[in-house]
Amino acid sequence: MAEYEHYIDGEWVAGDGEDFESVNPATGETLGTFPRGTEAEVERAVAAATEAFEEWRGLSYIDRAEYLWEIYHELRERHQELGEIVTKECGKEISEGKADVTEAWHMVEWAAGNARHPHGDIVPSEIAAKDAYMRRKPRGVVGCITPWNFPVAIPFWHMAVTLVEGNTVVWKPAEQTPWCGQVIAEMFDDTGIPDGVFNLVQGYGEAGAALVDSDVDTVLFTGSAEVGHSVNQQVAEVPDKNVSCEMGGKNAIVITEEADLDVAVHAAVMSSFKTTGQRCVSSERLIVHTDVYDEFKERFVDLAERVAVGDPLDPETFMGPVADESQVEKFHRYNDLAQTEGGTVLVDRAELDEGEIPDGHEDGHWVGPFVYEIDYDPELRCLKEEVFGPHVALVEYDGDVDRAIEIHNDVPYGLAGAIVSEDYRQINRYRDRGEVGLAYGNLPCIGAEVQLPFGGVKKSGVGAPAAREVIEAVTTRTAWTLNNAKDIVMAQGLSADITTQQD
């Protein structure tokens, strides 16, 4: 079994801490051994990134982007191989494993292409002789902390723009997906990027916490709300340190009395069960108008009973395993809670039958769809807390679309959501009143593209460490004004006369 290392200052570095293993969640097979990063190793990486910053910021945007273009080509050339690594390490079925890699190269393409686009603004001045601009400077060293569910795409959401803008990086991948981290570090090494510009420290939450605590100038975090909010608070106490966090959601789809039910059922199954419900944008609530409720329920339940759970490397599989045992335990805990809170179970494949688990996969972390119906009540925890699994509530509503939107918005999160309706007035009402960062009409609420802003409201996000918005997080703005005249003339009619005392 392969033993891997950290990547610090252009070198592979054996860790001083304990080792940990990456385990295939579908089979229980060990995929590799990795060093558990320590505070000292994080500090060493941050020191290397600090040292490398001056030289890196001195390159042009276009020269910096050249290293990213190398990675873009490698991601494309190794698509199948890397897609399989993603699937083996985090359990997503193979089309999703490959889509993770595709999304990564889309982000790299966006960031590297953007190197040739204008940066900043030319701003008019009140004074004709003045040229005024908004210019950007890199912030310095950026600490990136990423989750396991998009182990190739999200690191590039964080790092591609960050590097092109002239920052250096220390990255801590999720402990569930260190092998993906290793492959990405190998790619950076292959490009010959200057030592210290990109650094990888493997490990658990304590390495992430050490990175947040270190001398980095900006922290980009994507993960759970629980960790993200503590990271946010920790950084807020330090002047001149910046943080952006993308966190979870309790996302919903509204299906009105005007919905095309073919679209509604398709969108709901995709949103609730793709990635075994483990997308930050997965839908755990389906809010359905009473006029179409019974028909929708029958059709959704029928499909949930038949969704193919199995070997994620088999192209016929729709749902692979969940990531680890803690996810299995959390899923069951919330299924129990839903029943305690009054839910009626419609589909219970939470524990798969023996025959449903593929041969050789008995040690995997298997669950199937769990669907229930429940009367809306603002006090219900099962309608408010993120489960991160194929756990879905059907909630019936009566009245106009505003009632559905009220239920939809009654959660502490605000990441993604969708409406299914053939009535443009209902659709536009949802677009304008739905409290989410990513909203869809007649579509699943998953599947964002990299050129769109990605970020949540309420408890789902602070800043946006994703897509083009990351530029704000990793640069500072300078309002730069140059006088082209010999005289000094001030704005707002301010006198430029200097009155001196006469002898």
C-alpha closest to that of 229 among 205, 251, 246 = 246
* Minimum distance of ligand NAD from residue 216's CB (angstroms): 12
When the beta carbons of 172 and 408 are compared against ligand NAD, the nearer one is: 172
When the beta carbons of 312 and 358 are compared against ligand NAD, the nearer one is: 312
Provide the token pair at 28: 């229980």
* Minimum distance of ligand NAD from residue 468's CB (angstroms): 14
* Minimum distance of ligand NAD from residue 94's CB (angstroms): 20
Contact assessment for residue 428 and residue 459, using Cβ atoms and an 8 Å cutoff: no
Pairing of strands 19-23, 461-462: unpaired
Q: How far apart are CA 455 and CA 416, in angstroms?
A: 9
* Minimum distance of ligand NAD from residue 226's CB (angstroms): 7
List residues with catalytic annotation: 246, 280
Task: Give the footprint of ligand NAD on this chain (CB under 6 A).
Answer: 145-150, 172, 174-175, 204-205, 208-209, 212, 222-224, 227, 231, 246-248, 280, 386, 388, 415, 456, 466
Give the count of beta carbons closer than 10 Å to the beta carbon of residue 476: 15
* Minimum distance of ligand NAD from residue 292's CB (angstroms): 29
Give the count of beta carbons closer than 10 Å to the beta carbon of residue 427: 22
Q: How far apart are CA 56 and CA 163, in angstroms?
A: 9
* Minimum distance of ligand NAD from residue 63's CB (angstroms): 30
**Max CA-CA distance within the chain?**
104
Place of tokens 């004709």: 128
Pairs from 231-240 (Cβ < 8 Å, separation ≥ 24)? 231/145, 232/462
* Minimum distance of ligand NAD from residue 392's CB (angstroms): 16
When the beta carbons of 404 and 470 are compared against ligand NAD, the nearer one is: 470
- As to burial, measured by CB atoms within 10 angstroms (0-12 exposed, 13-18 middle, 19+ buried), residue 286 is buried
When the beta carbons of 97 and 166 are compared against ligand NAD, the nearer one is: 97
When the beta carbons of 74 and 386 are compared against ligand NAD, the nearer one is: 386
Contact assessment for residue 263 and residue 371, using Cβ atoms and an 8 Å cutoff: no
Provide the token pair at 286: 């389906």
Contact assessment for residue 411 and residue 405, using Cβ atoms and an 8 Å cutoff: no
Q: How far apart are CA 124 and CA 101, in angstroms?
A: 42
C-alpha closest to that of 265 among 424, 373, 420, 436 = 420
* Minimum distance of ligand NAD from residue 25's CB (angstroms): 13
Report the alpha-carbon angle 482-487-489, nearest 5. 70
Amino acid residing at 483 = N
When the beta carbons of 169 and 288 are compared against ligand NAD, the nearer one is: 169
When the beta carbons of 227 and 347 are compared against ligand NAD, the nearer one is: 227
C-alpha closest to that of 429 among 467, 399, 395, 385 = 399
> First vs last Cα of the chain: how many Å apart?
89
Amino acid residing at 368 = G
When the beta carbons of 95 and 234 are compared against ligand NAD, the nearer one is: 234
Q: Which residues contact 124 (CB under 8 A, 6 or more apart)?
A: 132
